[in-house]
A and B are shown apart, each in its own frame.
Chain A
Amino acid sequence: MTDFPQDSVLVLVEVSPSGQVQKSAAGLIGAAAGVGTPVALVVTAPGLGQAAAEQAAAYGAGTVLIAESADVTTKLSTPAVDALVAAAAKIQPELVLVSNSIEGRDVAARYAARTRSALAVDAIAIARDEEGVVASHSVYGGAYLVDSAASAGTLVATVRQGAIDARAEAAPLAAQVLEVAAGSAPAATITSIDEAVIVSGRPELRGAAKVVSGGRGLGSTEQFELVNELADVLGAAVGASRAAVDAGYVPTSYQVGQTGVSVSPQLYIALGISGAIQHRAGMQTSKTIVAINKDDDAPIFAVSDFGIVGDVFTVVPQLIAALKARKA
């Protein structure tokens, strides 16, 4: 028997090694609330569970299971998998939601393999039809929309970060400590952690309404500043192509594309980005796409609503000046 509602959805809340609840949790809990009753699981180092649980409740999951373990910062993925197994045994969920982050998908993958559950990856929406829970996926860079479901039993789904707009209302916290038996699966050892702290007043790339991205055409870290300047005038997030990341102009977290972040903002401005298919796969579902590139044949123009063949270093300053003049 279980004290949990029949329509419980188990949500693995992503927590950084230092205990920060990641923003993806709000969307996961929002998605869970849309199809059932969210029950959150936080897996943290000792002493950090309560604060993480409070944040989960603020995002709308009143019932929170707390699993604390020192293994979290030394063993890769398996402490969270073991905790998911213990939590699922307790609440018998029909759906398990995990963030489709690098860490999240490893945990979901191991959990699905261990429990022989159906795994749906990179869902952009979770819904319910008469037969159960359905996950929607945006496939081939947004060219297709595919719905999937589990043939039987619990569906495990990873959810694309920033894809879910629904938010649940904050709920009063009812936390319980979850006893977790450490599993026997061998894990890789974490020997050191470098938690990058991003200090930025700009919106986060995932889920931003406007994105300005720069490519190799910017030429240097110093000149990439032009991208930041336009982003700030528009109140946009800053992204980059893989070429700009590889050239070291900006950190990896800026990368938009097949590997990296997939975005679908209202406005996407590509500066000095040729538009390799791998980049387009991460942005072509944007509502309005603007591209500025010197090369008339750049593939980015094939998906642009407004394309300018020209030099970013003359066009963008003029654009910034015009937008500022309008605001003034």
Chain B
Amino acid sequence: MKIIVLVKEVPDTYGDRKLSLESGLADRSGEVVLDEISERALEAALTYAEANAGTEVVAIAMGPESVPTALRKALAMGAVKAVHVLDDGLVGADLGLTAEVLAAAVRREGFDLVVTGNISTDGSGGALPSMLAELLEVPAATNLSSFQIADSTLSGHRTLDQGSYEVSATLPAVISVTERMPDPRFPNFKGIMAAKKKPFETVTLADLGVATDDESVSRSIVISVAERPARAAGVKIVDEGNAGEQLAEFLIAQKLA
């Protein structure tokens, strides 16, 4: 069985995340990291692979020249191969183009199962797994908090805003997992060393046969970007026995109670 895990490089949420006010593009000059939810998706795939001989996990990412660092981490965690889709034509790609490119990359690699995070830390779209399933013409089971695979059928628990579903899908399929999945492993020294020898492929749009200039396809475009003023911290007091009363006065003065 071949499991493709789609991983994403994102600006580190522990730093200040910036958008360019001219281009609307994410400013990647700060720290960038492998998205935590991507790590969970990898962990889920690797856990399955370890328990089921003959399963290989391949990590695929689309993004700029900094992405190999995130992919190396995926290899160090245990993926057997990494594929980086790198092309200047992808700068500012919308969800539609991203889905087309990733679908082409997944097809080219071949797959039984595609695993992604449910929602990325930066774009917070949560749309890509379903778009991918539509383009790959396979079932999608999104937002899974757990899953099992038996006899080429995947079954899982899907948590919704109100309530939950038990779902199943015949492989090949696309799934997305939530942060309720087990914590990802840390790459160990052996894994980091082994990662250096693993296959690492870089592919372009031409390799994937994806054209970006098809005008019959509508794209989502950014037309303006504005920065909201940063929030300034207000008053901070240490409770000396009457903080609750002080807070009550504050709320009443602000007409909030």
Seen from chain A, the residues whose Cβ lies within 8 Å of a Cβ on chain B are 16, 76-77, 81, 101-103, 105-110, 112-114, 116-122, 134, 139-140, 142-155, 158, 161, 185-196, 198, 210, 233-234, 242, 246, 252-253, 258-259, 266-267, 277-278, 281, 284-285, 288-290, 292, 296, 301-311, 314-323, 326
Contacts and interface: CB of A to CB of B under 8 A. Distances in A.
B125 A196 contact: no
A110 B162 contact: no
Given A119-B127, A318-B244, 14 more contacts: A76-B139, A101-B160, A110-B133, A119-B220, A121-B125, A150-B221, A188-B140, A195-B163, A196-B164, A233-B257, A278-B121, A314-B244, A315-B239, A317-B244
B167 interface: yes
Interface stretch (B41-49, B77-85, B223-231): B223-231
A304 B234 contact: yes
B233 interface: yes
B193 to A, nearest CB: 32
A114 B99 CA distance: 11
Interface of B: 13-14, 17, 19, 24, 94-96, 99, 118-119, 121-135, 137-143, 155, 159-170, 173, 178-180, 215-228, 230-231, 233-239, 242-252, 254, 256-257
A151 B219 contact: yes
Given A106-B140, A187-B139, A188-B139, A146 B239 contact: no
A147 B224 contact: yes
B126 A319 contact: no
Contacts of B230: 143
A109 B119 CA distance: 13
Contacts of B237: 307-309
A101 B143 CA distance: 11
Contact of A194 (B96, B135, B163, B249): B163
A290 to B, nearest CB: 7
The interface residues of chain B, by DSSP majority, are classed as mixed
A308 B239 contact: yes
B160 A112 contact: no
Contacts of B179: 242, 259
Contacts of B231: 284, 289, 302-303
14 contacts: A102-B143, A102-B160, A106-B129, A109-B130, A118-B218, A118-B220, A146-B222, A151-B218, A191-B155, A266-B256, A267-B254, A285-B228, A309-B238, A314-B239
A102 B126 contact: yes
Contact of A306 (B129, B142, B159, B247): B247
Give the residue among B128, B161, B250 with the most A Cβ atoms within 10 A. Answer: B161
A309 B239 contact: yes
Contact of B17 (A114, A143, A152, A267): A143
A139 B219 contact: no
Contact of B256 (A110, A196, A210, A242): A210
Contact of B166 (A151, A191, A301, A310): A191
Nearest to A16: B162
Contacts of B14: 277
A271 B185 CA distance: 31
A185 B14 CA distance: 40
Contacts of B244: 314-322
A148 to B, nearest CB: 5
B238 A306 contact: no
A148 B221 contact: yes
B147 to A, nearest CB: 11
A149 B221 contact: yes
Contacts of A106: 127, 129-130, 140, 142
Contacts of A290: 247, 250-251
A321 B228 CA distance: 37
A296 B163 CA distance: 37
A109 B246 CA distance: 49
A198 B161 CA distance: 11
Central interface residue in A105, A188, A192, A305, by most chain B CB within 10 Å: A188
A189 B168 contact: yes
A77 B224 contact: no
Given A110-B131, A242-B179, A139 B96 contact: no
Most chain A CB inside 10 Å of its own CB: which residue of B94, B118, B234: B234
Nearest to A245: B180
A112 B225 contact: no
